[in-house]
Structure 1
Amino acid sequence: MGSFLSRNEFPVEGRTILITGGSRGLGLNAARQLAEKGANVIIVARNETKLQEGVAFISQGARTPGSQRFHHIAADVTTSAECARVVAEAIAWNNGSPPDIVWCCSGSAYPTLYIDTPPEQFQAMMDSNYFSCAYMAHAVLNAWLRSNPDGASPETPAEPNAGPRPARHIIFTGSFVSFYSFAGFTPYSPSKAAIRALSDSLSQEMNLYAAAHPNIPRVRVHTVFPATMPTQGLDEENRVKTDLTKALEEGDQILEPDEVARRAIRGLESGEDLVPTSTIIRLVMTSVLGGSARGGFWKGLVNTLLGWIVLVVMVFIRWEMDTKVTKWGKQHGSSGMIQQKSK
């Protein structure tokens, strides 16, 4: 039993990992830590200079520098054509084989009150957060699963008695607001909730291919839910965020990107489908799991019991948040900003 519970469900040594949004923040730190575990890494982002700096940083942590390889691809992954190009280039660089693991870390936020948000930002956030995941997953899953014209499996069957091949993994990146949103994140939270919905249904679809093609690697689908991180992205958010939203966020747990990456990888190694990286995210997640995969019987049981408790607590949390917003409106008006009283 002990060996089963301690089994690594996310082995990466000698495997190739593609990470979008890999030039900074969570993506960059995850890439470095995976390199330290022996992975070959491809990072994808828009800025060529940042990519070059990122590859230099990642390669410094290589477990076996003589055999590990690192690469970067400049691309805008908000379009399906670019995602297809990225996967094709990754396959060519990886000696004709698709990457074993794809982690979608790219994204952006524009946290403002809904009617104050420029309409183009609604599309921009869906593109950068949801569609960057959906298009990349579509491209890589076609490389992994699409049958040849004759209907044969896209890969050579495993040798007899070779044992099961390591699973392939798609990892999306959600947010606390995938589970619970509040004033100021209304334009942003739907794009993160959509990622969770994509993960839930896609993970079930993968059972179809696992059953129909038992000789090719199983595909696991995960979503990581990062804690707030003190990054350039957070600085950019805070420049447009209202005072009201900042007040509602008080008490939020802030973790450095390297710690969030460490917790995320640890969760993946333990086999979690949904991977919270802070206590508050884990607790809120248990209250809204619905039909999500629950990580097996024992984890599912614990999450269900926690969910019953948190469901009651959430009634009071929602009441408290509503009360704060109402009080704010009476004191400061509807701008979301603190109004200085004239003398």
Structure 2
Amino acid sequence: MGSFLSKNEFPVDGRTVLITGGSKGLGLNAARQLAEKGAHVIIVARDAGHLQQGIAFVSKGARSPDVQRFHHISADVTSAAECARVVAEAVEWNHGSPPDIVWCCSGSAHPSLFVDTPLPQFQTMMDSNYFSSVYMAHAVLSVWLKNTSSLSSSSSSPAKTAAIDDGTEEKQHDSAASDAEAKPPARHIIFTGSFVSFYSFTGFAPYAPSKAAVRSLADSLSQEMNLYATALPHEPRVRVHAVFPATMPTQSLDDENAVKTDVTKALEEGDQILDPAECARRAIAGLERGLELVPTSAIIRLVMTSVLGGTIRGGFWRGCVDTVLGWLTMVVMVFIRWEMDVKVARWGRENGVSGMKKDR
């Protein structure tokens, strides 16, 4: 998977996609582009007005408007009960079937110096970015996997049972091949990380840990889903991904910049800015290639390769390329960290501890 020779690993035509944070930014643009590919779409956010505007925008992109369906749900996904309600409503709206794909795009940032950050903000960051992902993943996985214990206890697979009754390996092989062909496409859960999931710096202490936790959650669940894939070979496989969007010029960025210190802004100079539509396009293209971790810019990919650890590499050849890039990036990062440390130290000498320029 992840090879340039592989088929589309993320088919959405005729499938139902649920996107939290779907009323603006990356979530809204991903919803529109998936609608253009034939998906039925449910968007989730708090603000009912933004949701109505968002669903109108998404539905205008429908590839088959007479067939595709669209829905919006107002909810606060930092609540476990609300996430369970969202999934239940999605199942009911979808004629009793759970969504095939869930993309957790909701989140917020409060980039400020650690000691200047109000203590409640640390909890808000974890709730908004990490726990919203945990609660939604738990709600949808509980639906997707709810019959696993009963199925597991009664399984030897039909193919294996036939082979035992018959005493022939040939029938087992033919049955297994037939089952593989009939197996439904994988389900997908997608988390949304950040550049600071891999590398944080001055001003992001309140925010970066929540995004690092999201990446760790994706890695953990990615491996855990193999348990169900092998124990229940006739059920849809669950694939877990994390998308790492570049900085996007949105209202959220304006809100971040309102609290961001000058020293943090100085360290961000040269950061790549991507339009939300382009960011969504790159994210979806990575999912279609079968990537589990999906960087949306060259700099994010380079930094990601230096800290992959036990993360799945996305195929042999991509793994080889990322390993070489990781070696090179680790050397470069020594100098990048040194340069940023020097900048911060110089800033302290010249401007003091506020993080703001003295002339402001």
Query: Does 1:203 find its partner at 2:219?
Result: no
Q: Give the structure, 1 or 2, with the largest relative contact order (CA under 8 Å, sep 6 or more).
A: 2
Q: Partner of 2:342: helix, strand, or coil?
A: helix
Residue in structure 2 matching 1:164, options 158, 174, 183: 183
- Superposed, 1:112-123 pairs within 5 Å as 112-123=112-123
Aligned to 1:187: 206
Moved over 6 A (4+): none
Aligned to 1:50: 50
Query: Does 1:90 find its partner at 2:109?
Result: no
Are the structure 2 counterparts of residues 83 and 313 from structure 1 closer, same or farther at C-alpha, using a change threshold of 3 Å?
Answer: same
Please give the alpha-carbon distance, in whole angstroms, between the structure 2 residues aligned to 1:5 and 1:68: 30
Alignment-mate amino acid for residue 293 of structure 1: I
Q: Partner of 1:99: helix, strand, or coil?
A: coil
Q: Partner of 1:5: helix, strand, or coil?
A: coil
Alignment-mate amino acid for residue 23 of structure 1: S
**TM-score using structure 2 length:** 0.91
Task: Give the C-alpha shift of residue 151 in structure 1.
Answer: 4.8
RMSD: 1.9
Aligned to 1:306: 325
- Whether the 8 Å contact between 2:77 and 2:136 is mirrored in structure 1 is yes
Q: Partner of 1:258: helix, strand, or coil?
A: helix
Q: Report which of the two structures shows the higher radius of gyration computed on alpha carbons.
A: 2
Q: Partner of 1:221: helix, strand, or coil?
A: strand
Residue in structure 2 matching 1:257, options 276, 293, 318: 276
Aligned to 2:164: none
Alignment-mate amino acid for residue 71 of structure 1: H
Task: Give the C-alpha shift of residue 165 in structure 1.
Answer: 1.5
Q: Deviations over 1:231-280 (max 9, x none)?
A: 00000000000000000000000000000000000000001000000000
Are the structure 2 counterparts of residues 149 and 271 from structure 1 closer, same or farther at C-alpha, using a change threshold of 3 Å?
Answer: closer
Q: Deviations over 1:139-179 (max 9, x none)?
A: 0001001227745699xx99954433211000000000000
Are the structure 2 counterparts of residues 19 and 124 from structure 1 closer, same or farther at C-alpha, using a change threshold of 3 Å?
Answer: same
Q: Deviations over 1:9-57 (max 9, x none)?
A: 0000000000000000000000000000000000000000100110000
Aligned to 2:67: 67
Alignment-mate amino acid for residue 255 of structure 1: L
Of Structure 1 and Structure 2, the greater helix share is in 2
- Whether the 8 Å contact between 2:148 and 2:228 is mirrored in structure 1 is no
Aligned to 1:19: 19
**TM-score using structure 1 length:** 0.95
Please give the alpha-carbon distance, in whole angstroms, between the structure 2 residues aligned to 1:108 and 1:201: 23
Identity across aligned pairs (percent)?
73
Aligned to 2:261: 242
- Whether the 8 Å contact between 1:147 and 1:153 is mirrored in structure 2 is no
- Whether the 8 Å contact between 1:103 and 1:172 is mirrored in structure 2 is yes
Please give the alpha-carbon distance, in whole angstroms, between the structure 1 residues aligned to 2:293 and 2:134: 17
Please give the alpha-carbon distance, in whole angstroms, between the structure 1 residues aligned to 2:123 and 2:257: 20
- Whether the 8 Å contact between 2:190 and 2:243 is mirrored in structure 1 is yes
Alignment-mate amino acid for residue 142 of structure 1: S
Q: Partner of 2:102: helix, strand, or coil?
A: strand
Count of matched residue pairs: 338
- Whether the 8 Å contact between 2:102 and 2:189 is mirrored in structure 1 is yes
Please give the alpha-carbon distance, in whole angstroms, between the structure 2 residues aligned to 1:285 and 1:198: 16
In the alignment, structure 2 segments of 5+ residues that lack a partner are: 160-174
Query: Does 1:219 find its partner at 2:238?
Result: yes
- Whether the 8 Å contact between 2:4 and 2:289 is mirrored in structure 1 is no
Please give the alpha-carbon distance, in whole angstroms, between the structure 2 residues aligned to 1:35 and 1:18: 11
Please give the alpha-carbon distance, in whole angstroms, between the structure 2 residues aligned to 1:213 and 1:128: 33
Query: Does 1:276 find its partner at 2:300?
Result: no
In the alignment, structure 1 segments of 5+ residues that lack a partner are: none
Aligned to 1:40: 40
Task: Give the C-alpha shift of residue 79 in structure 1.
Answer: 1.0
Query: Does 1:318 find its partner at 2:337?
Result: yes
Residue in structure 1 matching 2:286, options 259, 264, 267: 267
